Chains A and B, each alone.
Chain A
């Protein structure tokens, strides 16, 4: 396991050059991502915006090393993901990427602590250390008292905070969050965003959030807008002027 953010900060975390992804869906070629070039720096909190079918989910999968591009290059900390095989991608995800999903995707049969600990299994972290770190992370997301609760006994916001703790378990370079607040009411959504923001600040982890929600997007540092697989807008957000923007 590598420490967080050992990369030199003058190197970008992500470097995407002319990235394209095509699907064959029902015999029709769908160009989900076409010619995206982009760099994301360490410690940035980026919002990917765009309507359904804009290619933001596909781009997120490529950024999350869940899928490989059809063409172009995507480098994560200098590693070209397009050249890695499945096992290497899996290893990369285990060590450098944390995921937060819209539906939380916690293992329903495991307690909050176990759900966090399970993420450390692929890195062969010793069981005792896993448990200790899981407890520590749950404290960080203010869920120390929910340690032994099953997901079914946690609220949506609590579940998502467990998911965030899980995403941080392996001290990743980046957290990929797909509509993390999509299933939450706005008050809870703000709490979750606050958690993410504070953790980002605390650990310096890069956060990439795909979202529909302009308010959520407004809480990030940078908003990248996608339409038909291409970037239509890429703006730095001035945090104080949260009301700014849009296409």
Chain B
């Protein structure tokens, strides 16, 4: 219908009109691409943050934490000052055991947790004689209760589960200082014991023996019959031999005195020490699994992944490494053992981000928790299985906390969430406004062009071009401009997206951390409450093939709409208009 050479000539030789219209369309299309890119960028940033589990190849994290009901108990931690709550033994060694008393009446969960945290209630004396300088790392699970390793097997048997990987995620307390001298002085002795002793009654033979002995003495002292003179009787009474007449039991005997029981209670003042504490987080992971777990091989930023069979190797979080001036290939001493820093890793922002990662067996050994894990990372076959698997885990492991992406997503707030919402709400509307404006501009430019070509178009009609041919010609021209505008627009859009990526405005994300020592047991461990984690994500504006396709189609549609407007105008030009312009 349209003549190709004519269309090409029009576009080429009316380059101003072609360029202006194409740039108009291109600007619109480019802006829309930018908007779509930002929107996609926000979505992917949100997905990145919201699906931390997915990004480590995990769909579900299973942990056990103390049920919230026990928090009422924990609030009474002030009772730890009550000496009645803890015995001497505990009080003496349990420098770190603050708050222990408060849990004495808690549920079995609490008991389990306390048991798990008990490693911290360490007899400092074991570190050396008082006054010895020590450095020691204590590993405590905080609020996460351990599972026996068998739980992993249980979970892996659930239908829909591809794999289940155990991890031991712990809070490490790095203590340095001097072993305190702890002395308890208890004063005893100096007691006065009063006892009333009643001698046993005399037997008849003893009485007769005593009587004959006394009578004999009376005769010797000349007292004679008892009716004798008083002087003789006094003499008798003073006779030292009188005591000889007494029965031996009346002279001396054995008597047991039982002193009444009593408890000596003494409040011990905590010893003054120079112990300083810093905490960091550690995790034991399966070094054989490089694709799913708390950290994956793809997250290694420098150095290497664990070499197989290694026990004395660690991976260090890049953030922790830079703060502590550690680098891959270096070593880190923990409790007297030197660990080689095999690599630095940059794990995902959410989930349980640790500062140091050990092979699981090493971690279990360090924490004296052989065959125990406190996290099970579950991979499911497909996203649709997540719900069913979550329910199954709840059933098989009562009391377990099961986190999936959705439950994590619900915890996210901050500017990213706001921006994403804004992009969803306004981005679409803005894109429509921009594209409509671009179409209007292209349409008006085309109408103006047709108006300038009244005589030309009238002439075409006069020499036999049909209405449809003329409309087709105008349409072909504007669609051609649309193609050009599309290509230009894709360039502009790519530039906008690249610029956004280069500037990379930061978006903050606040989420509830999964970390150890959430508020309920915060008092047990030092500095353990992590609470809310705020992270920053840099916005990028990715360009997808579909966006490019959309942009191109939009430009073509814009060209077609403009052509329809111009064509409508052209179709209504009378062929005689070619003549009418005459004088």
A7 to B581, CA, bound (A): 33
B462 at the A interface (CB under 8 A): yes
Near A by CB (< 8 A), chain B positions 1-54 give 3, 5-6, 9-10, 12-14
Fill in one digit per residue for B448-464: 1 if any A CB lies within 8 Å of its CB, else 0: 00000001101111111
B469 and A108 form a contact (CB under 8 A): no
B419 in contact (CB, < 8 A):
no
Quick check: is A121 within 8 A (CB to CB) of the other chain?
A: yes
Question: Does A5 touch B at the CB level, under 8 Å?
Answer: no
CA A16 to CA B277, docked complex, whole Å? 116
Closest 6 CB pairs of A and B: A94-B464, A109-B13, A105-B459, A122-B464, A66-B576, A109-B9
- In the assembly, what is the distance between CA of A166 and CA of B9, in Å? 18
Judged by a CB distance under 8 angstroms, whether A234 is at the interface is: no
- Tell me whether B9 and A114 are in contact (CB under 8 A): yes
Give the bracket for the number of chain A residues in contact with chain B: 35 or more
Given contacts A66-B462, A99-B463, A101-B578, contact A122 B469 (CB under 8 A): yes
By a beta-carbon cutoff of 8 Å, the part of chain B in contact with chain A is 3, 5-6, 9-10, 12-14, 455-456, 458-467, 469, 574-576, 578-583
In A79-126, the 8 Å CB interface with B consists of: 86-87, 90-91, 93-95, 97-99, 101-103, 105, 107-111, 114, 117-119, 121-123
Query: Chain B residues near A101 (CB, 8 Å)?
Result: 459, 578-579, 582
Which of A56-64, A185-193, A197-205, A224-232 forms contacts with chain B?
A: A56-64
Q: Of all chain A residues, which has the CB nearest B13?
A: A109
Q: Is the CB of A93 within 8 A of B6?
A: no
Which residues of chain A (163-188) have a CB below 8 Å from chain B? 166-167, 170, 178-179, 182
Given contacts A103-B581, A105-B455, are A93 and B462 in contact (CB under 8 A)? yes
Cβ A90 vs Cβ B465 within 8 A? yes
Among candidates A86, A166, A182, residue contacting B463 with C-beta atoms closer than 8 Å: A166
User: Which of chain A's residues have a CB closer than 8 A to the CB of B579?
Assistant: 57, 60-61, 64, 66, 101, 178
Distance A118 CA – B466 CA, assembled complex (angstroms): 13
With beta carbons under 8 angstroms apart, the residue of A86, A127, A170 that contacts B464 is A170
Tell me whether B13 and A114 are in contact (CB under 8 A): no
Tell me which of A105, A118, A150 contacts B578 (CB under 8 A).
A105
- Give the complex CA separation of A67 and B576 in angstroms: 7
Q: With A and B bound together, what is the CA distance between A108 and B54 in angstroms?
A: 63
Tell me which residues across on chain B come within 8 A of A91, comparing CB atoms: 464, 466
**A142 on the B face (CB < 8 A):** no
Which one of A57, A110, A121 has the highest number of Cβ atoms from chain B below 10 Å of its Cβ? A121
With A and B bound together, what is the CA distance between A93 and B456 in angstroms? 16
CB distance from B5 to the nearest CB of A (A): 6
Contact (Cβ within 8 A) B576 A93? no
A226 to B6 CA separation, bound complex (whole angstroms): 39
Are A182 and B462 in touch, CB under 8 angstroms? no
Complex contacts, B469 vs chain A, CB 8 Å: 121-122
Quick one: which of B5, B459, B464 contacts A114, CB cutoff 8 A?
B5
A70 at the interface (CB under 8 A from B): no
In the complex, whether A18 has a CB less than 8 A from a CB of chain B is no
Q: Is the CB of B464 within 8 A of A90?
A: yes
Contact present for B581 and A119 (CB under 8 Å): no
Q: In whole angstroms, how far apart are the Cα atoms of A102 and B579 in the complex?
A: 8
Can you list 21 A-B pairs, Cβ within 8 angstroms, ordered by A?
A52-B583, A57-B579, A60-B579, A61-B579, A66-B462, A66-B574, A90-B464, A97-B464, A99-B462, A103-B582, A105-B455, A107-B459, A109-B6, A110-B5, A114-B6, A117-B5, A118-B463, A121-B469, A122-B463, A179-B582, A179-B583
| Residues A105 and B456 in contact, CB atoms below 8 Å apart | yes
Contact check, A86 vs B9: say whether CB atoms are below 8 A apart.
no
Whether A119 and B582, one on each chain, are in contact in the complex, defined by CB atoms closer than 8 angstroms, is: no
Residues of chain A with a CB closer than 8 A to B6's CB: 107, 109-110, 114, 118, 121
Write out the residue numbers on chain B whose beta carbons fall within 8 Å of the beta carbon of A111. Answer: 9
The answer to whether B3 and A121 have CB atoms under 8 Å apart is yes
Closest to A96 in B: B464
Q: Which of the residues B9, B461, B578 comes within 8 Å of A110, measured between beta carbons?
A: B9
Contact of B582 among A90, A93, A121, A182 (CB under 8 A): A182
Query: How far apart are the CA atoms of A122 and B580 in the complex, in Å?
Result: 23
CA distance A114 to B575 in the complex (A): 20
Nearest Cβ on chain B to A68's Cβ, whole angstroms: 11
Contact partner of B3 among A66, A118, A123, A182, CB < 8 A? A118
Contacts of A67 in B (CB 8 A): 574, 576
A108 touches B463 (CB 8 A): no
Contact status of A90 and B466, CB under 8 A, knowing A101-B579, A109-B14: yes
CA distance A101 to B459 in the complex (A): 9
Instruction: Assess A90 versus B461: contact at CB under 8 Å? Given A105-B456, A110-B6.
Output: yes
Contacts of A60 in B (CB 8 A): 579
Contacts of A108 in B (CB 8 A): 13, 456
Nearest chain B residue, comparing its CB with the CB of A92: B464
**Which A residues touch B461, using CB under 8 A?**
90
Q: How far is the CA of A99 from the CA of B459 in the complex (A)?
A: 8
Q: Shortest CB–CB separation between residue B255 and chain A, in angstroms?
A: 139
Residues of the B chain whose Cβ atoms lie less than 8 Å from the Cβ of A95: 464
Closest CB-CB distance, A130 to chain B, in whole Å? 9
Report Cα–Cα, A2/B572, bound state, in Å: 29
Chain A residues closer than 8 Å to B574, beta-carbon distance: 66-67
> A163's closest neighbor in chain B, by CB?
B459
Residue contact A66 to B463, C-beta cutoff 8 Å: no
Partner of B575, one of A93, A102, A117, A150: A93
Selected from B10, B12, B462, B467, the residue in CB contact (under 8 A) with A86 is B467
CB-CB nearest in chain A for B575? A66
CB of A172 to closest CB in B, whole Å: 10
Residues of A close to B464: CB separation below 8 A: 90-91, 93-95, 97, 119, 122-123, 170
A175 to chain B, nearest CB (A): 11
Query: How distant is B581 from chain A, measured CB to nearest CB, in Å?
Result: 7
For B468, the closest partner residue in chain A by CB is: A87
How far, in angstroms, from A117 to B6 measured CA to CA in the complex? Answer: 10
Most buried by B among A91, A109, A114: A109
Among B461, B463, B465, B583, the one with the most A-chain Cβ atoms within 10 Å of its Cβ is: B463
From 8 to 65 in chain A, residues with beta carbon under 8 angstroms from any chain B beta carbon are 52, 57, 60-61, 64
Q: Is the CB of A94 within 8 A of B463?
A: yes
Query: Chain A residues near B13 (CB, 8 Å)?
Result: 108-109, 150
Which of B12, B14, B458, B465 lies at the interface centre, i.e. has the most chain A CB atoms within 10 A of its CB?
Answer: B465
